[in-house]
Structures are given as structure tokens and as C-alpha cells.
Amino acid sequence: MKDTKGEKLFFVFNYFMLCIVGLSCLLPLIHTLSVSLSDAHAVRSGFVSLWPSGFSLESYKSLISGTPVVRAFQNSLLITVVGVVLSMVFTVMAAYPLARKSFYLRRFLTLAIVFTMLFSGGIIPTFLLIKELGLINSYWSIWLPGLVSAYNMLVLKSFLENIPAEIEEAARIDGCSELGLLTRIVLPLSLPVIAALTLFYGVHYWNIFMSVLLYIQNVEMHNLTVMVQQMVNSQSLLIEINKQQPDDLSDITPEGIKSAGIIVMVLPMLIVYPLLQKYFVKGVMIGAIKG
């Protein structure tokens, strides 16, 4: 069936708007990358646009030697890896029983979880609770409050509900226990949606910012996002780097180092996303289909 003239015009307009939105996100990132790879003279002169001028890695060398970027990167990696593992384990533990039609409190607990998507305790009560629990300056203050995302749990629950009951019945007839059914049958079949949710959680924990500012008062425990934000707002960046390498200030600029920090922050997610992209759309779309 051929598309009508109106449908063709709609597709052209839709693709055009998507290209505009895509370029609005991509061009600033390309410019930031170009600034981080350009020499100091070109950056000071404002000659850098979408292509590096006078290729130089001095900004990255100064970033590594003059700032705590390595330590912050390690902190971000720890927060992300442990957070993703914990969140995925508890998301599966929450979604699996709620997807069972035989579970008595299934409807009540699902509505209770949806309620949390609409209302929350607020920043001040949450901070007071974290303080009373003694979790200040502990990464548990980051992991525990957002351990399970209600949206991600509902997506996984919807996916699990679409797994044919005949597969589970056959596994039980063969003597498979409930834990064996989950680990050997359900989870392998749920690989697309698990990969998509892993990406969701990974982006969340890698980019987490406000919770670190509120609960982590020890500067040495700050993650990469907070460190880059402080770099961008800092007016004394060159003074700090000057203590490490006083002879190389002519080869660096604050803009170049800040741009290098931003690239270091977003690069891991840019690498991970293409690896999980084939599961991304499939997992979310299947999990959104009912019946």
C-alpha cells in the first residue's frame, strides 16, 4: 500500500524535525570535543568551531595531572557498577512476583508502587532520614533511596507478563523450582528488557549529581559529575593546575580543560550505548505491549 501525499509530507516534516533535534544535541558535543583537542592559542583566539585547530592533547594531560579526575572517575565507576547490580537484582525481585497472576497482593502492591511515581517525601525529609540512618558520607545514601525505579520495575513486570504460561508450566513439570524457573527460563528470555533497564540504571548512576552534593560531604568521595560541575564553575582552575606544572600554563586554557573534563564524563556512556542499542528499543517496546 502506497503512502498518500499527506503521509509523505508528514514523514518529510518528521524527519526534518528529528534531524534538527539531533543536531542540536550533537553539535555542542562536537564543539566541546574540538575545544578539548585544540591548542591554547586557537582556543583563546576563538578559532575553534566544529573541527580542532592545532591538534593538542595538553588539556587532557593537564586534566589528569592537575585535577582529581582519576579518583573521581573511579568513584563514578564504583557508584555505577554497584548501583546497577543492586538495582537490577531488586528490580527483578520486585517485578517477578508482581507478574505472577497467582500472587494475592499483586494489584494492591502495584498500585502502591505507582503511587510513589506521583508523590514523594521531598528533599528535606529524605535528607533527615538519611542522616538518622547514619548514611551521610556513604555511597549507600545514593544506592538505597533509588534502589528500585518504579518505572523500570513496571516495564519489566509488563514484559514478564507476556512470557507464555506454557513455557513455565513445562519447566515445572520437569521439576524446576521457582528459583530455577527465574534463573534458567525467565531471565534468559528477558535479556532484551534487562539490557535496556541496565542502560537506564547505568546512565542514572553515572550522571547522578544532586544526591552526591547532599549526602557526600567528603570531597575525595565525589564522583566525576560533581567534579566537572565544580571545574566549570571554578575561577581558580589554572591556579590549582599551576601547583602541579607551573611551566606549562602557556599550553593550556581553562576552556580546554573544562571541555576535556566534560568529554571524559560523557565518553563512557557514548561507548556503552551502541553496545546495548540493539536491545534498547526492542526491550522497551516489548515491555510496553500488553496482552
Residue-wise pLDDT tens digits, 80-138: 999 999 999 999 999 988 888 888 888 888 898 888 888 877 888 888 989 999 889 99
256 and 243 Cβ atoms separated by less than 8 Å: no
Instruction: Please give the helix or strand (H or E) that residue 172 lies within, else none.
Output: helix 165-173
Lowest mean pLDDT of 10-19, 99-108, 196-205, name the range. Answer: 99-108
Query: Mean pLDDT over residues 224-253, rounded?
Result: 66
Among 23, 39, 56, the domain boundary falls at 56
Q: Which of 56, 81, 101 is the last residue of a domain?
A: 56
**Do 147 and 37 belong together in one domain?**
no
Residues 77 and 118 in one domain: yes
Q: Are residues 84 and 213 in the same domain?
A: yes
Asked whether residue 271 carries a pLDDT value surpassing 60, the answer given is: yes
Residue 84 has a pLDDT of 94
The one-letter amino acid code at 43 reads V
Percent of residues, the chain, with pLDDT higher than 70: 88
pLDDT higher than 80, residue 275: no
Rounded distance, CA 255 to CA 45, Å?
12
- Cα 142 from Cα 136, distance rounded (Å): 10
Clarify whether residues 36 and 102 are in a common domain.
Answer: no
Reported confidence tier of residue 251, pLDDT bands at 50, 70, 90: low
Q: The cell 535496556 sits on which residue?
A: 196
Which residue segment(s) compose the domain that 38 sits in?
1-56
3-state secondary structure of 17: helix
Average pLDDT over residues 217-239: 77
Residue 68 and residue 43: Cα distance in Å, rounded? 23
Same domain for 226 and 163: yes
Question: Is residue 289 over pLDDT 50?
Answer: no
pLDDT attached to residue 239: 56
What cell was used for 241?
A: 593546575
- Domain identity same for 144 and 27: no
Which pLDDT value is given to residue 287? 45
In 3D, which of 219, 102, 101, 196 has the Cα closest to residue 149?
196
Same-domain status, 77 and 27: no
Model pTM score: 0.82
Residues 128 and 37 reside in one and the same domain: no
Cα gap 110→74, rounded to integer Å: 37
pLDDT tier, 288 (very low <50, low <70, confident <90, very high otherwise):
very low
Q: 252 with 40: CB under 8 angstroms? A: yes
Do 129 and 230 belong to one domain? yes
For residue 290, name the pLDDT band (cuts at 50, 70, 90): very low
Q: Is 110 helix (H, G, I), strand (E, B) or coil?
A: helix
Which of 159, 139, 162 lies closest to 151 in space, CA to CA? 159
The closest of 276, 214, 227 to 74, measured between CA atoms, is 227
Which residue, 160, 154, 128, 158, is CA-closest to 141?
128
Instruction: Count the domains in the chain.
Output: 2
Strands (E) in the chain, as ranges, are none
CATH of residue 269: 1.10.3720.10
Query: What share of the chain has pLDDT > 90, as a percent?
Result: 14
Q: Are residues 148 and 248 in the same domain?
A: yes
38 in the same domain as 161? no
| 250, pLDDT greater than 70 | no
Q: Do 127 and 26 sit in the same domain of this protein?
A: no
d(CA 291, CA 285): 13
Over residues 139-191, the pLDDT tens digits come to: 999 999 889 989 999 988 888 888 887 887 888 887 778 888 888 888 888 88
Last residue of a domain, one of 41, 56, 71: 56
